[in-house]
Amino acid sequence: MRNASFSPSFNKVGIGACIRDVGGNFVIAKTEWLTPIIDVDMGERTQPGEHRF
């Protein structure tokens, strides 16, 4: 499982991932806050792979 969140007020992107084994049992999880290279509002509107600089 993976997820992302966008915080326009802090201009941060939060990501998280949860790794499970083949039986569906929890193995490890990680969360991280990053400063995006484009502003958060634009990132929310842009589909993955469509970044044009």
Q: What is the mean pLDDT of each run of 10 residues along the chain (53 residues)?
A: 67 86 95 76 63 48
pTM, two decimal places: 0.49
Residue 51 in any domain: the answer is no
Residue 50 lies in a domain: no
> Does 39 fall in a domain?
yes
H/E stretch holding 3: strand 2-7
Q: Residue 53 falls within a domain, yes or no?
A: no
Smallest CA-to-CA distance from 13 within 30, 37, 29 is with 37
pLDDT of res. 15: 85
The count of domains in the chain is 1
Q: Which domain holds residue 36?
A: 2-45
